[in-house]
A and B are shown apart, each in its own frame.
Chain A
Amino acid sequence: MNITVRQEGAALVARFDEARLDAAVAIQFKDRMREIAAGSPDRVILDLSRVEFLDSSGLGAVIAVMKMLGPERRLELAALGPAVERVVRLTRMDTVFTIHAEAP
């Protein structure tokens, strides 16, 4: 599992580089994001452009990362493919996350 990190202006952009964000990688994803988030700026954008499938375990991990960042930092989502968007909308988590059509 790989996450590519880059700085974009005042934001940190983390791109999840696998096709599936599911129960098989949820814990690894959370652990890696915890390392990445240590000392991150106030704004973290999760680039999901490579993700073709998200299950509820993967979504739960994304929400856990948002909570891990605490109230003073924001997690935003970018570049949701059709399958990812479907799950995010059905669970109404699109009302909680700021979602960008494309990654910066």
Chain B
Amino acid sequence: MPKPPEPPGARRHRIEACPEGVRAALGAIMAELGAGGLGDGARRDAEIVLAEVLTNIARHAYGGTGGPVRLALRVRGDGLAQCSVIDWGRAMPGGVLPAGTMPDPLGRPEGGFGWPLIRLLAAGVAYDRLGRRNRLRLRLRVA
């Protein structure tokens, strides 16, 4: 498969799209972000965003059967971390990002929080599909 474009100077992670793989990846990435000097609040939000992104890939792009994910992360000098996440699963429905409206809490929803949380907590998110791969580009706040 062709090498996908990644932010220059990024730390790369190869992730298995399953709940245990997501846990392992978050552990490694959070350790790296700690070393990069991110404050507690920013780290907390970044972990939520990445957890939701990776869990969605495992559940929806790969339908729970597992598959590879490549994540590249670079902490920039301007208070943001730049992240790209690539998988070879199913495309986003309609080829676009989900709207991300928070479900009504009074309806006692058991799901549908993932994309609203990503949209609330990420400084930016973009999606594209090229051939068989999905790419998400995320900007995460450092402070």
Q: Could you tell me which A residues sit within 8 Å of B by CB distance?
A: 20, 22-24, 53, 55-57, 59-61, 63-64, 66-67, 82-83, 86-87, 90-93, 95-96
| Nearest 8 Cβ contacts at the A-B interface | A24-B19, A56-B113, A60-B110, A92-B105, A23-B19, A55-B51, A56-B114, A23-B55
Q: Decide: B105 and A66 in contact? CB cutoff 8 A.
A: no
Number of inter-chain CB pairs below 8 Å:
73
Q: Which chain B residue shows the least CB distance to A55? A: B51
Q: Decide: B48 and A60 in contact? CB cutoff 8 A.
A: no
Mind listing 19 A-B residue pairs with CB under 8 Å?
A22-B51, A23-B58, A53-B47, A53-B51, A55-B48, A56-B111, A56-B113, A56-B117, A57-B55, A60-B109, A60-B113, A66-B108, A83-B48, A86-B45, A87-B113, A90-B117, A91-B117, A92-B102, A93-B105
Question: How many residues does chain B have at the interface if contact means C-beta atoms less than 8 Å apart?
Answer: 28
Q: Could you tell me which B residues sit within 8 Å of A by CB distance?
A: 19-20, 22-23, 40, 44-45, 47-48, 51-52, 55, 58-59, 102-103, 105-106, 108-111, 113-114, 116-117, 120-121
